[in-house]
Structure 1
Amino acid sequence: MKLKHNHSTKNHNFQRLIWETSFLLVFALTSLNFGFAQTSNSLPNEIENVNSEQARVTGLKYLSVHVLELEKTLKLYREILGFKMADAEVLHGPGLEGMLVMKLKADDLTIGLSLTAPEFIDTIGPIGNTNHNHFMLKVNDIGPIGDKLKKEGYELENENYARDKYTFFVGPNGEIIGLSGWD
């Protein structure tokens, strides 16, 4: 009986491995096909009509990671992944007092590591507190994008997004997304 169970478990693990590999392969091929479809002449009308002047995302500005374990975090990003320390500053202000923000760079990618001062550890999380895990997208014109988000029911952290050229909002999966019109 035990031998049959082990064989069954091995078979189940093998089937699971096949399923996961197939899923990843389909995902990768779908992504490649979508990328190729964007450059072909057989695009849907709405994609064909998009021009470079339309408000859109133009790239990733940075990622921000809230640091829970400083030594392990620095070892991972600097020693293992090869990021270089570009800048570090201590922030001051309500809810930010004493927060250390370190900017690490790898080519054109910046990751902000933020370490909260112990007396403000309970303020982590809400949008508006810059010490949260989020990613910041570069946009070429934040006004129309912010307007579309509001029209779709998204709550924007900064109501002055057009003037200030930035805002944060929570995506449909709970992800915190930042938009920046700054270069």
Structure 2
Amino acid sequence: MKSKIETKRKGNTCKFNFSYRFLCLLVFVVVSTVFISAQNSEQAVANDTSKEQARVIGLKNICVHVLELEKTLKLYREILGFKLDDADVFKGKGIEGMLAMKLKANDLTITLSLTAPEYLHTIGPVGNTNHNHFMLQVNDIGPIGDKLKEEGYTLENENYVRDKYTFFVGPNGEIIGLSAW
């Protein structure tokens, strides 16, 4: 009698082992399929990200051309609470003699630009940073600059792709800078 029971158990064990192995194989195939599908999906997202449209990714800076130094400093420092963070005198065509004072309030920086009197005649059209403007940081300036030109905007810097910046006048007279650095 014992031998019959042992045979039955052996037979059930074989069926159980086969069922267990089949189930494990099925789970492995399903998990592998899901894993491969997820990897392909991630790669598709990565490819879409690399083909992401050129766009604005942040505010680079705000620049205010100073016409009245004492009133300007009183407003920004004494009333609004900005602190002087840095100052620099720029040199180069169109920006000779420009003093740029960076004022900070928490994480906001405003640049006040002041041109030395002997250089006032050098203040030119858009593109000269001696004017009121805000500069937007972009992830890819080439396509954006090209689209602006297609739409009829005049770009101050025709070498915007190489130099990674340019300025243009918006439809309301606002001066907008673009920077990819």
Instruction: Please tell me the TM-score bracket, short chain as reference.
Output: 0.5 to 0.7
SS in 2 for 1:61: strand
Offset at residue 97 of structure 1 (A): 2.9
Indicate the residue corresponding to 1:78 in structure 2: 77
Write the mapping of 1:1-183 to structure 2, written as runs, cut at 5 A.
53-182=52-181
In structure 2, relative to structure 1, the CA distance for the partners of 1:56 and 1:121 (3 Å cut) is same
CA contact (8 A) 1:125 1:132 kept: no
Report which stretch shifted further, 114-123 or 50-59. Answer: 50-59
State the alpha-carbon separation in 2 of the partners of residues 94 and 86 from structure 1. Answer: 25
AA aligned opposite 1:56: R
TM, length-normalised to structure 1: 0.66
Contact 1:90 1:99 in 2 (8 A): yes
Number of residue pairs aligned between Structure 1 and Structure 2: 134
Structure 1 or 2: more helix by fraction: 2
Q: 1:66-118 CA deviation, whole Å, 9 max, x = no partner?
A: 11111111111112112121110112234433221101122332211111110
Unaligned runs of 5+ in 1: 1-48
Over alpha carbons, which structure has the higher Rg? 2
Amino acid at match of 2:104: K
Q: State the identity %.
A: 80
CA separation of 1:95 and 1:159: change in aligned 2, threshold 3 A: closer
Q: State the alpha-carbon separation in 2 of the partners of residues 93 and 60 from structure 1.
A: 24
Matched residue SS, 1:121:
helix
Instruction: Give the TM-score normalised by the residue count of structure 2.
Output: 0.67
Q: Offset at 1:121? A: 1.9
Once residues 83 and 51 of structure 2 are traced to their aligned partners in structure 1, the CA distance between those partners, rounded to angstroms, is 33
Contact in 2 for aligned 1:101/1:114 (Cα 8 Å)? yes
Aligned-pair Cα RMSD in Å: 2.2
Determine if contact 1:95/1:120 at 8 Å carries over to the other structure.
Answer: no
Superposed displacement of residue 50, structure 1: 10
Structure 2 spans left out of the alignment, 5+ residues: 1-47
